[in-house]
Amino acid sequence: MSEIPEARGAAAVPRQAGAIPRGGSGGSADPIRVLIVDDHALFRRGLEMVLQGEEDIEVIGEGGDGHEAVQMAGDLLPDVVLMDIRMPRRSGIEACTAMKEAAPSSKIVMLTISDEEEDLFEALKAGASGYLLKEISIDEVPQAVRAVHGGQSLISPSMASKLITEFASLAKRSEERTQQVPAPRLTEREMEVLRLVARGLGNREIAKELFISENTVKNHVRNILEKLQLHSRMEAVVYAVREKLLEIT
């Protein structure tokens, strides 16, 4: 939490958890609505101060535990949720699972000190769109919010290497299976989109790469997930590795 030095003076009396009145950004486009969930009030206040300096981002609420996070997400319907893993009453991973039902359109980013592989894998299985360690710099926080809101999946570099190792392991285990149920057939375009998703490209980047609209990309991604019975872009990456659509060295 030392990465947010600006918060030291102003956060001597932390703001209580709860909804934050909207204070229009003055821009014509709607700002990205963010909910912050962390059991440390000082850290919440620091994040709020960082994000409030961005014209296209609005902090709409703060929560202090997983139980409160689910309730607030259902009421406020945030675009992006920044949430810790280790919290009282209900962990961030448990809250993530419940939050995907209460606010299915919300993108959830785990912002934590935990560099445990199990926490990373469980968070992604629960539907998180990102997993960032609290050691990230101040400038990276609003960038992460924008990226996830735009459809990208984000993982801290040190954690990504662990994920790549797991992907490679999954691919190797799949080779050892001699009998498998044939995978659903994807169209040629869907295969192109899946490969680009596996490379970490967001919807806008994929649209530019394939010279199609962003909405068309979203439709393709939705169809891919439905056909493969997957729940997230990250699971689609695992599938791409297993089916050798993406090489891992």
CATH of the domain at 110: 3.40.50.2300
pLDDT band for position 3 (cuts 50, 70, 90): very low
Taking only the tens place, the pLDDT of each residue in 68-84 is: 999 999 999 999 999 99
| Same domain flag for 169 and 53 | no
pLDDT given at position 178: 39
| Same domain flag for 126 and 202 | no
Q: Determine the Cα angle at 54 with ends 16 and 51, to 5°.
A: 30
pLDDT given at position 212: 94
Distances, alpha carbon 20 to alpha carbons 62, 66, 142, in Å: 7, 18, 18
Burial class (CB in 10 A: 0-12, 13-18, 19+), 180: exposed
The DSSP output letter for 35 is: E
Give the distance, in angstroms, between the CA of residue 146 and the centroid of all CA atoms in the same chain: 11
Residue 249 resides in a domain: no
Task: Give the type of residue at 56.
Answer: D
> Can you name the residues that pair with 110 across neighbouring β-strands?
83, 131
| Same domain flag for 218 and 125 | no
| Same domain flag for 55 and 167 | no
Q: Which residue has the tokens 């629960």?
A: 126
Residue with the larger pLDDT of the pair 175 and 235: 235
Q: Where are the alpha helices (DSSP H) in 77-156?
A: 92-102, 117-125, 140-149
| Same domain flag for 49 and 143 | yes
Residue 247 resides in a domain: no
pLDDT given at position 57: 95
Residues 6+ apart with CB under 8 A from 138: 3, 4, 6, 50
User: Among the three residues 155, 180, 215, which one is the final residue of a domain in this structure?
Assistant: 155
Give the distance, in angstroms, between the CA of residue 120 and the centroid of all CA atoms in the same chain: 11
Residue 2 resides in a domain: no
Phi/psi of residue 195, nearest 5 degrees: -65, -40
| Same domain flag for 108 and 196 | no
pLDDT band for position 10 (cuts 50, 70, 90): very low
| Same domain flag for 193 and 140 | no
| Same domain flag for 24 and 145 | yes
pLDDT given at position 169: 62
Name the token pair of 156: 């801290």
Taking only the tens place, the pLDDT of each residue in 15-59 is: 445 554 444 444 457 899 999 999 999 999 999 999 988 999 999
Domain hosting residue 233, numbered range: 162-242
* Residue whose C-alpha is closest to residue 38's, from 2, 72, 88, 3: 88
Residue 135 resides in a domain: yes
> Can you name the residues that pair with 37 across neighbouring β-strands?
63, 83
| Same domain flag for 120 and 85 | yes
Q: How much is the average pLDDT of 111-124?
A: 82
Claim: this prediction has a pTM higher than 0.75? no
Q: How much is the average pLDDT of 77-105?
A: 90
Q: Which residue has the tokens 């392991």?
A: 169
User: Among the three residues 155, 172, 191, which one is the final residue of a domain in this structure?
Assistant: 155
Residue 51 resides in a domain: yes
| Same domain flag for 64 and 14 | yes
User: Among the three residues 110, 129, 155, which one is the final residue of a domain in this structure?
Assistant: 155
